[in-house]
């Protein structure tokens, strides 16, 4: 066989890729770092809120005809795969450049223009929310709008959404409110504007509920807000991105590494929440701000990061997450978007969606204490007790080089486990992601296969977890 230099390089690349896939997905018993896991089934770390799972959107998403629509069956399926009671957050930079015009022509724009939302857009969103069972957090325009416009918009949103309205927010990323030259130089200047808008809305809608302050990153502003508002708000809201898409840190290695600074910040948020008696929520979150990075944010690495990060947040008492998705502040679909769509508004899942789906499978009910004995392998483990009485152990191997040999000690009365795996050919894969033996179909359907039955030996379940993969173990009672 005669190869040109180019063809030879392609052949070598394909061969190496094949070997990598085989070595990762077909690791054998005895291979890899030994990891011992013990679950304390008699104590509870915390409770995962019923609406923990959520999506976050720029306000311009609502102006897209046929996106939030009762006829968008693929998007409805994708939502209902995850939950029948999640939370949609409408806001972002574009919310501070959005106007409500009841009979106007709906217009999608970036933050550099004006987005128009009309009465029909709100009616469609309301119908979509009712079909999915989800509720909506709605951001009002504090940046370029007036109190009078905010009142008109809030009244229209409340009338259309009814019981699907979870709360209002006033302004977006108010701690860095410099997108349009209207920066609040301190918390006081922001808060006086907030109170003015809130009072105007409540004069027309006395029962209106609010969340805030929707900060980009200032825990100090969030703390001042919590002290000032007390329990007058439903949620304290904060954003998170690992770093910027254009920075050197926008890599798979960095995304999958532990973010120690974020862990410390979560500790402060948790304390503020406990002191104020108001839950906190990370209502805008994804990998890298600026729309994410192609080749990182849209790969299987994002699924592992998403699954792990959702459990990290739940473990810190967070009320939930809104994974930022769809068109961004520059009016193009972000690389990190868990769900994407074509010109007809048909929607399908990207890898990150599978991380959310895995959390939906095992991330409900009570969080339990877990003891993990391991070396320095980049691996995390979590445990839950769901409403059906099942115990789950979720292990995420984010290591790029090492497989894990798991040994999970079972509680009394349990004799094995059902295993559901989250995997892909490579950590850089942008498709062919599998959860529980199945992909999400092009029309949004997910039909998981039968789990792998893993027997116990002397009260211990053993399983190989390849690098760059996750496993969800549902412990099997001897009574079944």
**Is the whole model's pTM more than 0.85, yes or no?**
yes
Pick the closest to residue 314 from 218, 392, 424, 254 (CA basis): 392
Peptide bond into 213 cis (omega under 30): yes
Angle (deg, nearest 10), helices 147-161 and 187-204: 50
The confidence score (pLDDT) of residue 201 equals: 98
The confidence score (pLDDT) of residue 185 equals: 77
Pick the closest to residue 456 from 430, 429, 437, 475 (CA basis): 475
Kindly give, in sequence order, each residue whose CB lies less than 8 Å from that of residue 129, ignoring residues fewer than 6 positions away.
68, 88, 135, 136, 161, 164
Pick the closest to residue 142 from 178, 203, 102, 194 (CA basis): 194
Pick the closest to residue 50 from 279, 429, 363 (CA basis): 363
The confidence score (pLDDT) of residue 184 equals: 77
pLDDT digits (tens, 9 = 90+) for 73-95: 999 999 999 999 999 999 999 99
Q: Which DSSP string do the residues of 102-128 spell out, in sequence order? A: TTS--B---TTS-EEE-HHHHHHHHHH
Query: What strand order describes the sheet that includes 321-324?
Result: 165-170, 135-140, 87-91, 54-58, 321-324, 280-289, 236-244, 212-215
pLDDT digits (tens, 9 = 90+) for 377-389: 999 999 999 999 9
User: What does each of the 480 residues of the chain score in pLDDT, given as a tens digit?
Assistant: 333 343 333 333 334 344 344 444 445 556 789 999 999 999 999 999 999 999 999 999 999 999 999 999 999 999 999 999 999 999 999 999 999 999 999 999 999 999 999 999 999 999 999 999 999 999 999 999 999 999 999 999 999 999 999 999 999 999 986 544 556 778 998 999 999 999 999 999 999 999 999 999 999 999 999 999 999 999 999 999 999 999 999 999 999 999 999 999 999 999 999 999 999 999 999 999 999 999 999 999 999 999 999 999 999 999 999 999 999 999 999 999 999 999 999 999 999 999 999 999 999 999 999 999 999 999 999 999 999 999 999 999 999 999 999 999 999 999 999 999 999 999 999 999 999 999 999 999 999 999 999 999 999 999 999 999 999 999 999 876
Rounded CA-CA distance 177/175 in Å is: 6
* Pairing state between β 379-385 and 365-368: antiparallel
Q: Which domains does the chain have, with CATH numbers?
A: 27-45+365-477 (2.60.40.1180), 51-362 (3.20.20.80)
pLDDT digits (tens, 9 = 90+) for 408-432: 999 999 999 999 999 999 999 999 9
Kindly give, in sequence order, each residue whose CB lies less than 8 Å from that of residue 139, ignoring residues fewer than 6 positions away.
59, 89, 90, 91, 92, 95, 168, 169, 170, 171, 172, 214
Rounded CA-CA distance 430/155 in Å is: 42
Rounded CA-CA distance 25/276 in Å is: 47
pLDDT digits (tens, 9 = 90+) for 465-474: 999 999 999 9
Kindly give, in sequence order, each residue whose CB lies less than 8 Å from that of residue 163, ignoring residues fewer than 6 positions away.
135
Q: Which DSSP string do the residues of 172-188 spell out, in sequence order? A: SSGGG--TTS----SHH
Element housing 98 (H / E): strand 98-100
Rounded CA-CA distance 422/310 in Å is: 15
């Amino acid at each position: 066989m005669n190869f040109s230099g180019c063809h030879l390089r392609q052949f070598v690349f394909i061969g190496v890729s094949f070997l990598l896939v085989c070595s990762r997905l077909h690791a054998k018993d005895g291979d890899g770092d030994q990891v011992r896991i013990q679950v304390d089934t008699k104590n509870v770390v915390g409770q995962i809120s019923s609406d923990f799972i959520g999506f976050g959107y720029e306000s311009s998403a609502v102006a897209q005809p046929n996106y939030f629509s009762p006829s968008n069956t693929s998007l409805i399926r994708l939502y209902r795969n995850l939950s029948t009671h999640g939370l949609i957050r409408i806001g972002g930079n574009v919310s501070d450049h959005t106007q409500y015009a009841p009979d106007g022509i709906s217009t999608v724009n970036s933050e550099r223009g004006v987005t128009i939302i009309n009465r029909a857009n709100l009616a469609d969103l309301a119908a979509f929310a009712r079909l999915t069972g989800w509720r909506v957090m709605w951001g009002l325009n504090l940046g370029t709008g007036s109190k009078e416009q905010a009142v008109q918009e809030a009244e229209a949103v409340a009338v259309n959404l009814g019981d699907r309205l979870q709360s209002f927010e006033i302004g977006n990323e108010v701690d860095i409110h410099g997108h349009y030259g209207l920066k609040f130089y301190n918390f006081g200047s922001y808060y006086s504007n907030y109170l003015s808008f809130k009072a105007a809305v409540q004069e027309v809608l006395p029962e209106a509920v609010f969340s805030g302050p929707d900060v980009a990153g200032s825990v100090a502003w969030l703390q001042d807000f919590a002290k000032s508002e007390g329990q007058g708000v439903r949620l304290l809201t904060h954003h998170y991105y690992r770093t910027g898409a254009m920075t050197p840190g926008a890599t798979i290695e960095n995304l999958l590494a532990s973010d120690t600074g974020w862990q410390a910040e979560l500790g402060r948020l948790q304390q503020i929440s406990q002191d104020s008696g108001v839950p906190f929520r990370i209502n805008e979150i994804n990998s890298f701000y600026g729309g994410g990075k192609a080749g990182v944010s849209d790969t299987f690495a994002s699924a592992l990061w998403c699954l792990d990060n959702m459990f990290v947040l739940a473990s810190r008492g967070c009320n939930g997450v809104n994974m930022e998705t769809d068109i961004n502040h520059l009016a193009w679909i972000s690389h990190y978007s868990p769900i994407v769509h074509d010109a007809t508004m048909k929607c399908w899942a990207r890898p990150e969606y599978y991380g959310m789906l895995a959390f939906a499978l095992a991330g409900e009910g009570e969080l339990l204490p877990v003891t993990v004995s391991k070396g320095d392998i980049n691996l995390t483990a979590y445990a839950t007790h769901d409403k059906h009485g099942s115990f789950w152990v979720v292990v995420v191997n984010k290591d790029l080089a090492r497989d894990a040999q798991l040994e999970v000690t079972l509680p009394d009365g349990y004799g094995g486990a059902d295993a559901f795996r989250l995997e892909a050919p490579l950590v850089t894969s942008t498709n062919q992601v599998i959860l529980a033996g199945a992909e999400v179909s092009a029309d949004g359907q997910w039909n998981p296969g039968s789990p792998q039955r893993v027997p116990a030996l002397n009260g211990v379940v053993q399983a190989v977890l390849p690098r760059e993969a996750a496993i969800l173990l549902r412990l099997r009672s001897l009574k079944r």
